C-alpha cells in the first residue's frame, strides 16, 4: 500500500520545499547513500584474510607491471609502487 510509506516520511528543511516531491523522504537512506552497508557486507563476506589476500595480490601485480615498464624502452617509471599505485610516462 503506497500510503504505508507515510510511516517513515520525514521532511528535511535543507532538501526541498514542504509538499514537493522529495524521493528521499520515504527511503531508509534519506539524504545519505547506503555505502556503509556495502562496506560492512564486503568485510563480513571476505573477512580480514580475504582483504589481505586481495591487497597482497594487488601489490604484486603493481610490482610486476613496474618491472615490465622498466624493461620497455618507450616507457619511464616515475614512481615505484609502494602499495598498488605507481606512475609512469610514455
For residue 24 the three cell numbers come to 528521499
27, 15 in Cβ contact below 8 A? no
pLDDT for 19-70, tens place per residue? 666 555 555 555 566 777 888 899 999 999 999 999 999 999 999 999 999 9
Q: What is the pTM of this model?
A: 0.57
Measured distance CA(79)–CA(63) in Å, rounded: 11
Contact 71, 64 (CB under 8 A): no
Torsion of CA 73, 64, 82, 71, to 10 degrees: -20
Write down the residue that cell numbers 594487488 correspond to.
58
Mean pLDDT of 13-23: 59
The answer, yes or no, to whether residue 9 has pLDDT greater than 80, is no
Q: Which three cell numbers stand for residue 13?
A: 528543511
- Is residue 8 predicted with pLDDT exceeding 80? no
More confident residue, 41 or 14: 41
Amino acid at each position: 500500500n503506497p500510503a504505508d510509506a507515510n510511516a517513515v516520511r520525514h521532511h528535511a528543511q535543507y532538501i526541498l520545499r514542504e509538499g514537493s516531491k522529495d524521493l528521499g523522504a520515504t527511503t531508509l537512506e534519506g539524504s545519505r547513500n547506503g555505502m556503509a552497508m556495502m562496506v560492512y557486507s564486503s568485510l563480513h563476506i571476505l573477512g580480514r584474510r580475504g582483504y589481505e589476500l586481495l591487497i597482497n595480490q594487488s601489490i604484486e601485480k603493481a610490482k610486476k607491471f613496474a618491472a615490465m615498464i622498466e624493461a620497455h624502452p618507450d616507457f619511464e617509471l616515475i614512481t615505484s609502487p609502494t602499495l598498488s599505485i605507481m606512475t609512469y610516462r610514455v
